Amino acid sequence: MKFGARNKLEGKVVGIEKGGIMAKVKLEIPAASEMSSVMTIESLDDLGIKEGDTVKIVAKAVNVLLIKE
């Protein structure tokens, strides 16, 4: 998969908070830091992301995108 963002990390999903339409995915990244990504619940389900998964993180501007391979 090719993409234009240069900020790539790998992280572990440490929590998921679901709302009516959106979900907040909390991630643990290198250097013992945390970050979060917000996505629709439909996208969360389509990607099959669950707590404990390792995902690739692509950050561009204010967007944090998750990739599960």
- Where exactly are the structural domains of the chain? 7-62
The two beta strands, 22-29 and 7-18, are: antiparallel
Per-residue confidence at 12, pLDDT binned at 50, 70, 90? very high
Q: What is the pLDDT of residues 17-63, one digit of tens each?
A: 999 999 999 999 987 788 899 999 999 999 999 999 999 988 777 77
Buried b (16+ CB within 10 A) or exposed e, 20-33: eeebebbbeeeeee
Topology adopted by domain 7-62: OB fold (Dihydrolipoamide Acetyltransferase, E2P) (2.40.50)
User: Which residues contact residue 47 at a Cβ distance below 8 angstroms, ignoring those fewer than 6 apart?
Assistant: 66, 68
